[in-house]
């Protein structure tokens, strides 16, 4: 496998993401920009200048709109094709996570109060919030209290991510104290498990919602989303910042129960250690076995995501470099 390095950022990359079709890939960083690439030719197609450091981003199913969540609480809406900023939704709580769930009808935004350290989950109708932000324009930001919210609930802890589960019938969330939670549609916690001793850094559903994986300072845990029963545990010597489950886990003809996890010791501690642990780990979920590692990064990897076809992945690191790696035929012949 030959990685293709994409140098579109000056500072650390915080998030990488493919669009629904897998022909476009995005990377967001602390340098106040989102960079867009062609997933097949690796050509840089453009960039979107943001208000502040990027924490989370999301693209709608038609790849028409790009939502960017910033650390200072600004939700920005861009037009993907032109790069035009359509408007902003403003709130004095920082944004932790942004997602358009299955169905492309809603928008989930996870907020955190910077003083009280409590979380607020706001769910908007996708078409309505796009219209409201667009109508407010770029000169006057749409205030959070003026936006139409179809559902909102608060939690007395710092939530790092909140997503719908199977058929949008419940929520699965992770917290900064290492817990994974299953919540009903009213935001009440039904099941709670301690996934990691400290913050849950990453979170990934299988494409069919049969599995959910979290990562933290002790490695990666894989759960049944319905019961939150721990199925597998991959322990590591260094913290894991990100995890992604292969979409081929649901392939009927040739399923691959694989996940990728990556991380490394914090950059500020790397100089004091002989080994940083910056490798990408390829693991078989069914056999709870590591199949191999992919090296080449010189700093902690903050985000990794499989391409929608499962034939490669994209990752972004603290050094400001993102990479696209395509699996060669050996992967499909030897790694089952």
C-alpha distance across the termini of the chain, in Å: 17
Average pLDDT over residues 157-168: 96
Residues of the chain with CATH 2.130.10.10: 1-44+199-336, 50-194
Show the tokens assigned to 130.
Answer: 């796009």
Tokens 């078989």 locate to 284
- Assign domain 1-44+199-336 one CATH number from 1.10.10.1200, 3.30.465.10, 2.130.10.10, 3.90.1170.50: 2.130.10.10
Show the tokens assigned to 47.
Answer: 């960039």
Show the tokens assigned to 283.
Answer: 């693991």
Asked whether the predicted pLDDT for residue 272 surpasses 80, the reply is no
Res. 274 pLDDT band, cuts 50 70 90: low
In 3D space, the residue among 65, 49, 209 whose CA is nearest the CA of residue 126 turns out to be 65
Report the sign of the C-alpha dihedral through residues 143, 145, 147, 151, in that order.
Answer: positive
Which pLDDT does position 248 carry in this prediction?
96
In 3D space, the residue among 237, 261, 113 whose CA is nearest the CA of residue 176 turns out to be 113
Q: What is the mean pLDDT of the chain?
A: 95
CA 158 to the chain's CA centroid: 17
Res. 114 pLDDT band, cuts 50 70 90: confident
Q: Look up the pTM and report it.
A: 0.95
Which pLDDT does position 297 carry in this prediction?
87
Which pLDDT does position 288 carry in this prediction?
96
Pick 155 or 335 by higher pLDDT. 155
Which pLDDT does position 118 carry in this prediction?
94
Show the tokens assigned to 29.
Answer: 């960083």
Which pLDDT does position 267 carry in this prediction?
67
Specify the CATH number of the domain 50-194. Answer: 2.130.10.10
Q: Give the tens place of pLDDT for each residue, 44-88.
A: 999 999 999 999 999 999 999 999 999 899 999 999 999 999 999
Which pLDDT does position 247 carry in this prediction?
97
Average pLDDT over residues 130-146: 94
Q: Give the tens place of pLDDT for each residue, 118-130.
A: 999 999 999 999 9
Say what percent of the chain tops pLDDT 70: 98
- List Cβ neighbours of 293 (8 Å cut-off, separation of 6 or more): 279, 280, 281, 282
Average pLDDT over residues 143-158: 95
User: For 48, phi and psi rounded to 5 degrees?
Assistant: -120, 120
Comparing 33-47, 200-214, 233-247, 322-336, the range with the smallest average pLDDT is: 322-336
DSSP 3-state of 130: helix
Average pLDDT over residues 212-221: 97
Kind and range of the H or E run holding 93: none
With beta carbons less than 8 A apart as the criterion, state whether 133 and 146 touch: no
Q: Where are the beta strands (DSSP E) in 132-223?
A: 142-143, 151-155, 159-164, 171-175, 179-183, 189-194, 202-205, 212-216, 219-223
Cα separation, 336 vs 332, whole angstroms: 7
Q: Give the tens place of pLDDT for each residue, 80-96.
A: 999 999 999 999 999 99
Cα separation, 142 vs 130, whole angstroms: 11
Show the tokens assigned to 322.
Answer: 């993102």
Cα separation, 50 vs 38, whole angstroms: 20
Which pLDDT does position 115 carry in this prediction?
87
Which pLDDT does position 270 carry in this prediction?
64
Tokens 């004091």 locate to 272
């Amino acid at each position: 496998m030959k990685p293709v390095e994409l140098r579109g950022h000056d500072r650390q990359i915080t998030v990488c993401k493919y669009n629904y079709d897998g022909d476009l890939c995005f990377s967001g960083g602390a340098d106040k920009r989102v960079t867009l690439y062609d997933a097949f030719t690796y050509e840089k197609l453009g960039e979107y200048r943001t208000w502040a450091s990027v924490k989370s981003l999301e693209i709608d199913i038609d790849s028409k709109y790009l939502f960017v969540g910033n650390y200072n609480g600004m939700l920005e809406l861009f037009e993907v094709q032109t790069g035009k900023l359509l408007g902003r939704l403003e709130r004095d709580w920082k944004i932790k996570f942004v997602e358009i769930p299955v169905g492309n009808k809603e928008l989930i935004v996870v907020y955190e109060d910077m003083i009280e350290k409590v979380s607020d989950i706001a769910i908007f109708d996708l078409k309505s919030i796009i219209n409201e932000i667009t109508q407010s324009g770029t000169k006057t930001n749409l205030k959070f209290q003026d936006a139409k919210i179809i559902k909102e609930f608060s939690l007395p802890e710092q939530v790092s991510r909140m997503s719908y589960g199977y058929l949008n019938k419940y929520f699965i969330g992770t917290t900064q104290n290492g817990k994974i939670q299953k919540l009903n549609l009213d935001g009440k916690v039904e099941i709670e498990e301690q996934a990691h001793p400290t913050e849950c850094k990453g979170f990934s559903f299988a494409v069919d919602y049969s599995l959910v994986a979290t990562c933290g300072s002790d490695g990666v845990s894989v759960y049944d989303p319905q019961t939150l029963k721990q199925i597998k545990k991959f322990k590591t010597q260094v913290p894991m910042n990100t995890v992604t489950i292969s979409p081929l886990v649901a392939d009927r003809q040739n399923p691959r129960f694989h996940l990728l996890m990556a991380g490394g010791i914090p950059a500020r501690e790397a100089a004091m250690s002989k080994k940083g642990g910056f490798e990408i780990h390829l693991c078989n979920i069914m056999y709870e076995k590591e199949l191999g590692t992919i090296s080449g990064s010189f700093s902690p990897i903050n985000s990794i995501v499989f391409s929608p076809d499962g034939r490669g992945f994209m990752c972004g690191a603290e050094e400001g470099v993102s990479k696209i790696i395509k699996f060669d035929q050996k992967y499909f012949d030897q790694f089952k």
